[in-house]
Each structure stands twice: as structure tokens, then as C-alpha cells.
């Protein structure tokens, strides 16, 4: 589907990601601020959901790249 808005590029969406999640254990990176750092917040819950919904031979690996007191946009500039 060609878009009239050149900056918009429709990709395969979550269905392609879901297929990949079912096939092999993946590394899932979480970038965010203090609410992403929380050990009992949304990040561990959603990661648990990924592992339960898309089980593989080994669990999907969680990469926590969140930094407290900084937003996602600013954090993206200091990642290697």
C-alpha cells in the first residue's frame, strides 16, 4: 500500500513480530525513564507476558536500558 505521506512507511506490523517471537528466543530491549526502571512496574509484567504468550526453548532475554530521571528521547542519545 503506497502512502501519500512519504514519512509514513507501513511495515508488516505485529503479525511479523509475533511470528518471530514464536520461532526463537529474542532479546527485547526496553528504553524508558523511571517508570521503566521499576522492578515491579510495567516492564517486568509485559516481559513475563511475552514469555508466557510466545514460549520458546529458552525465555526471551530482557535488556533493561532504562534510566531514571531521564526520558526515552534523551536516553536514546546516550546509548552506545
The pLDDT tens digits of the residues spanning 14-71 come to: 677 888 899 999 999 988 888 888 888 999 999 999 999 999 999 999 999 888 887 7
In a domain, 7, yes or no: no
The larger pLDDT score, comparing residue 3 to residue 36, is at: 36
Judged against a pLDDT cut of 60, whether residue 3 lies above it is answered with: no
The larger pLDDT score, comparing residue 79 to residue 59, is at: 59
Range of the domain at 59: 26-78
C-alpha cell at 39: 522492578
Determine the pLDDT at residue 62: 95
In a domain, 52, yes or no: yes
In a domain, 42, yes or no: yes
In a domain, 15, yes or no: no
Determine the pLDDT at residue 46: 94
In a domain, 62, yes or no: yes
| Residue keyed to cell 536516553 | 75
Domain count, the chain: 1
In a domain, 58, yes or no: yes
In a domain, 72, yes or no: yes
In a domain, 69, yes or no: yes
Those residues with Cβ within 8 angstroms of residue 35's Cβ, 6 or more apart along the chain or in another chain: 41, 42
Amino acid at each position: 500500500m503506497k502512502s501519500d505521506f512519504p514519512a509514513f512507511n507501513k511495515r508488516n506490523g505485529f503479525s511479523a513480530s509475533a511470528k518471530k517471537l514464536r520461532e526463537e528466543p529474542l532479546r527485547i530491549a526496553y528504553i524508558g525513564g523511571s517508570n521503566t526502571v521499576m522492578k515491579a512496574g510495567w516492564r517486568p509484567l509485559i516481559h513475563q507476558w511475552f514469555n508466557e504468550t510466545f514460549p520458546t526453548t529458552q525465555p526471551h532475554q530482557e535488556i533493561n536500558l532504562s534510566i531514571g530521571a531521564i526520558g526515552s528521547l534523551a536516553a536514546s542519545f546516550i546509548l552506545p
